[in-house]
C-alpha cells in the first residue's frame, strides 16, 4: 500500500474538486491533486500517485526510472496497477 | 556478481559495491533501513549478498501494515460487523490476523467489507449509499495521512455525514526514536524512508545525528539508490562527519510538502499513546481526528472494544521489527507462518520483512551459498 506510482497529467478537470485526468501505465484515471495545489500542476507534468492522490511532482526521467523498478517488483506492481484501474475517484 | 547484472546500470552498481567494500574495510557497520519498501528492494535484488560482511542491514518498522497491533484489527472487525455498516479497507489489511480472525474472515461470515484503492473511493461509496454508515480503515504513515485528511475535509465540504474514519495513522519519528533508545540494538546509522519524506521533509530527521550521533541518509527505491545511500553513510564515517543527507533529491526536499502537512495538522491531533506491534506503547506516535471532526470519527460513532491483545506467543514479529532477529530466525518462519496463512503482520504485507524474505530472499541466499558466499 505504500507504493507510489508515476503518472502523467493529461488534463485538469474540475478545479473545485482538485481533480486531474492522469495516464497511469496506459490507463487514464482521475487523481486528486489537492496536495499539490501550491505547485501549479499542468498537463504534461509527471506526478507520484499514492492512494489516489498526487503526492509529489517528479521529472520525466525519474518517472521512467521509478516505473522500471516498479515493474521489477512483479506481483506487487501488478496489484497496484489493478487497484488504480478499479478506482473511480470523482 | 550474478545479482548485479539485473540492475539498471550494472557498472555503476559494481563501482558502488567496490567503494562500499573499501570504506567499510576497517570495521563493522550495522545500518537500519526504516522503510518496508526498501526492505522489499533489498531482498528482491539480493543486495545483502553484494555487500561485504563488514556491512550489515537491519530491517526497521516502516511498514504500516506490520505495526498495527492485534487489538486494532479486532476493533476493525467489530465495527465491520455492526449491522448495516459498509466497512472499507486497503487490500493489504484484509488478511492481517486479529485475535478473532481477519477482515477477510469477517467478510466470509457476511460482513459488508469492501477493498478500496483510495479513501476517496470510500467517500464515493458513502455518497452512493446515504442510508448506510460507511467506515474507512485508515492506516499508514505521513505518506498516507494527508490523503485521509483531504478526504475528511472533502466529506465536510460535501456534507457526507454517513462517512467516518477509523484512524490508525502513525508517525515516523517516534519509532525511530524508540529504536535509538532501545538497549538491545546497536546501530551505526539509518537509511531513511523515501516517500514519507516527500511529505515530512529532511529536516525532521536532524535529531538523529544531533541527539544520538548517528548519520541518516534518505534513499530512493532502486537498488542503486540503496547502494549509494550505504556509500554515503560510510563516507560520513571516513570523513568524520555525522549529519542528515539526501540521496533521493529527485523526490525529497528539505521542507517536504507544506500543504500536505498543513492539511494533516488541520484534521488530526497527536494521540498521547499508541500501541505498535512488537514495539509496545510509544508516546505521541499516532494520529486521531480533532474534536471538530468528531462526526467523522468512527471511534466515537461506534462501540469500539479497544481491548489490548497480546501477540501470539510463537510470533516474533516484534523482534523482526526492531531488527533484533532476521526473519528466518523466527521459530515459525516458513512453517506455521507463510504468506498464505500468516501468523504475524510481517508475513502479510509485501513490504513486510518476512514476506519479502520468504518470496525472494531465500532464493538469493541459496544462490549465494552455491557461489561460495556466506549465508546472511
Model confidence over B147-185: pLDDT tens digits? 999 999 999 999 999 999 999 999 999 999 998 998 777
A36 touches chain B (CB under 8 A): yes
pLDDT of residue B3: 61
CB of B196 within 8 A of CB of B62? yes
Per-residue model confidence as pLDDT tens digits over B18-51 = 999 999 998 999 999 999 889 988 988 889 889 9
Residue A17: give its domain's CATH number: 2.30.30.140
Q: Measuring CA to CA, how many Å separate B322 from each of A21, B230, B317? A: 41, 20, 9
Pick the range with the lowest mean pLDDT from A71-85, B62-76, B81-95, B205-219: A71-85
- Predicted confidence pLDDT, tens digits, chain A (90 residues): 557 889 999 999 988 889 999 998 888 999 999 999 999 999 999 999 999 999 999 999 888 888 887 887 777 778 888 888 888 887
CB B229 within 8 A of CB B193: no
- B372: confidence class by pLDDT, cuts 50, 70, 90: low
DSSP string covering B16-69: HHHHHHHHTTTS-EEEEEEEHHHHHHHHHTTHHHHS-TTEEEEEEEE-TTTT--
DSSP characters over B194-255: SHHHHHH-SGGGGHHHHHH---EEE--SSHHHHHHHHHHHHHHHHTT---EEES-TTT--SS
pLDDT digits (tens, 9 = 90+) for B227-262: 999 999 999 999 999 999 999 998 899 999 999 999
Task: Please tell me which of the candidates A32, A38, A59 has its beta carbon nearest to residue B150.
Answer: A32
The reported pTM is 0.92
- Structural domain span for residue A11: 5-86
* CB atoms A52 and B263 under 8 Å: no
Predicted complex ipTM: 0.92
Name the residue facing B257 among A56, A76, A79 (closest C-beta): A56
Grid cell in block for residue B306? 479497544
Q: Cα dist. B100→A56, B72, B106, B182, B305 in Å?
A: 39, 11, 9, 31, 13
- Tell if the CB–CB gap between B146 and A35 is shorter than 8 Å: yes
Put simply, the answer to whether A53 touches B41 (Cβ < 8 Å) is no
Q: Nearest residue on chain A to B263, judged by CA atoms?
A: A35
Strands B29-35 and B189-192 turn out to be parallel
Among candidate residues A21, A64, A63, A16, the one with its CA nearest the CA of residue A42: A21
pLDDT in the model for residue A44: 97
Interface residue A50 vs chain B (CB under 8 A): yes
How many Cα atoms occupy the beta-carbon half-sphere of B108 within 13 Å?
7
Interchain contact A40–B (C-beta under 8 A): no
Lowest-confidence region among A69-73, B34-38, B206-210, B370-374: B370-374
Structural domains of chain B ordered from first start? 3-65+173-246 (3.40.50.11750), 70-171+256-301 (3.40.50.11740), 317-369 (no CATH)
Distance CA A19, CA B85 (A): 28
Pairing of strands A27-32, A19-24: antiparallel
Angle (nearest 5°) at CA B15 between B9 and B16: 90
CA B198 to chain A, closest CA, distance in angstroms equals: 7
Hey, are the CB atoms on A35 and B120 less than 8 Å from each other? no
Cα–Cα distance between A80 and A84 in angstroms, integer?
A: 6
Q: How many domains does one find in chain A?
A: 1
Percent of chain B residues topping a pLDDT of 70: 95
Rounded percentage of chain A residues whose pLDDT exceeds 90: 50
Which residue on chain B is closest to A68 by alpha carbon? B8
Amino acid at each position: 500500500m505504500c507504493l507510489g506510482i508515476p503518472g502523467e497529467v493529461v488534463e485538469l478537470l474540475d478545479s473545485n474538486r482538485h481533480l486531474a485526468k492522469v495516464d497511469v501505465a496506459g490507463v487514464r484515471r482521475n487523481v486528486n491533486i489537492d496536495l499539490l495545489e501550491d505547485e501549479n500542476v499542468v498537463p504534461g507534468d509527471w506526478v507520484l500517485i499514492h492512494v489516489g492522490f498526487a503526492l509529489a511532482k517528479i521529472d520525466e526521467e525519474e518517472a521512467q526510472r521509478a516505473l522500471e523498478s516498479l515493474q521489477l517488483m512483479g506481483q506487487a506492481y501488478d496489484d497496484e496497477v489493478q487497484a488504480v484501474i478499479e478506482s473511480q475517484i470523482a | 556478481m550474478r545479482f548485479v547484472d539485473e540492475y539498471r546500470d550494472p557498472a555503476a552498481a559494481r563501482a558502488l559495491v567496490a567503494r562500499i567494500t573499501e570504506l567499510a574495510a576497517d570495521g563493522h557497520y550495522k545500518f537500519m533501513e526504516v522503510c518496508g519498501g526498501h526492505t522489499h528492494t533489498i531482498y528482491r535484488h539480493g543486495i545483502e549478498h553484494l555487500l561485504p560482511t563488514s556491512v550489515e542491514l537491519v530491517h526497521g518498522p516502516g511498514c504500516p501494515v506490520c505495526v498495527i497491533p492485534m487489538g486494532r484489527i479486532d476493533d476493525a472487525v467489530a465495527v465491520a460487523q455492526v449491522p448495516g455498516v459498509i466497512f472499507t479497507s486497503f487490500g493489504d489489511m484484509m488478511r492481517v490476523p486479529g485475535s478473532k480472525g481477519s477482515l477477510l474472515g469477517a467478510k466470509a461470515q457476511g460482513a459488508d467489507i469492501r477493498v478500496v484503492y483510495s479513501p476517496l473511493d470510500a467517500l464515493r461509496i458513502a455518497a452512493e449509499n446515504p442510508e448506510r454508515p460507511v467506515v474507512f480503515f485508515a492506516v499508514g504513515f505521513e505518506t498516507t495521512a494527508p490523503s485521509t485528511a483531504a478526504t475528511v475535509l472533502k466529506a465536510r465540504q460535501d456534507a457526507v455525514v454517513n462517512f467516518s474514519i477509523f484512524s490508525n495513522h502513525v508517525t515516523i519519528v517516534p519509532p525511530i526514536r524508540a529504536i535509538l533508545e532501545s538497549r538491545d540494538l546497536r546501530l551505526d546509522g539509518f537509511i531513511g524512508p523515501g516517500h514519507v519524506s516527500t511529505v515530512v521533509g529532511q529536516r525532521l530527521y536532524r535529531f538523529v545525528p544531533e541527539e544520538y550521533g548517528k548519520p541518516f541518509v534518505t534513499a530512493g527505491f532502486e537498488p542503486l539508490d540503496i547502494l549509494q545511500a550505504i556509500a554515503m553513510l560510510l563516507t560520513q564515517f571516513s570523513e568524520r562527519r555525522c549529519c542528515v543527507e539526501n540521496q533521493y533529491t529527485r523526490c525529497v526536499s528539505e521542507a517536504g510538502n507544506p500543504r500536505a502537512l498543513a492539511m494533516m495538522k488541520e484534521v488530526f491531533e497527536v494521540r498521547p499513546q499508541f500501541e505498535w506491534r512488537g514495539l509496545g506503547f510509544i508516546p505521541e506516535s499516532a494520529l486521531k481526528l480533532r474534536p471538530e471532526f468528531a462526526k467523522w470519527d468512527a471511534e466515537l460513532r461506534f462501540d469500539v472494544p479497544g481491548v489490548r491483545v497480546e501477540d501470539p506467543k510463537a510470533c516474533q514479529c516484534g523482534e523482526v521489527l526492531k531488527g533484533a532477529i532476521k526473519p528466518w530466525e523466527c521459530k515459525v518462519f516458513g512453517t506455521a507462518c507463510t504468506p498464505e496463512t500468516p501468523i504475524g503482520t510481517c508475513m502479510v504485507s509485501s513490504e513486510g520483512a518476512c514476506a519479502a524474505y520468504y518470496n525472494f530472499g531465500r532464493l538469493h541466499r541459496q544462490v549465494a551459498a552455491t557461489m561460495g558466499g556466506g549465508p546472511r
